Amino acid sequence: MEITSQTTTVLLIDPDREDRRYWTERLKSSSQHYQVLEAEDAETGIAIWKSEQVDCVVLELHLPDMSGFQVLLQLNPIVRHCLQTPVVTLSHFILLSIAEAAKTLGAQSYLIKARASGDDLICAIQKAIAIVRLDREEVTSSA
């Protein structure tokens, strides 16, 4: 289920090179419409997010230079809710409280790496983009 026939640019922020390679390959093999930008730390990821048009961020919460929660706060400040960035967290953390905190800070979905498939990630990305798109349309139509 593709959202559009246009390219979907995904920013994958994850310090683990093998995890980045695996998830990038899963996205690219599922559709020619995925372009994946990679960052191994928060600072690089945020710089890419600021300089490129990114449709969705896939974020590991355990990063070497700052918490993934801090990244979420930068991507989705509370005051700009209508300009929210679609974010899928894809993490090793299993605790429900961590998943809830990530969603409170703007993540549309929370996947656990050990339990997620490539299809799960693709579905979560498409859903996150659709949720944010609907939120933006509601804000625009009510203004």
pLDDT tens-digit series, residues 50-105: 999 999 999 999 999 999 999 999 998 764 555 588 999 999 988 999 999 999 99
- The CA distances from residue 47 to 43, 81, 131, in Å, are 6, 20, 24
Measured in residues, the chain has a length of 143
pLDDT beyond 80 at 16: yes
* Percent with pLDDT over 70 in the chain: 88
pLDDT band at 1 (very low <50, low <70, confident <90, very high): very low
Burial of 32 (0-12, 13-18, 19+ CB in 10 A): exposed
Tell which residue, 32, 31, 89, has the closest CA to residue 56: 89
Q: Is the pTM of this model over 0.75?
A: yes
Distance CA(54)–CA(47), nearest Å, equals 11
DSSP symbols for 22-56: HHHHHHHHH-TTEEEEEESSHHHHHHHHHHS--SE
In the block, residue with structure tokens 């899928």: 88
Rounded average pLDDT over 135-139 = 71
- The CA distances from residue 65 to 30, 49, 57, 87, in Å, are 31, 16, 17, 19
The values of phi and psi at residue 33, to 5°, are -85, 0
Which domains are present in the chain? 8-142 (3.40.50.2300)
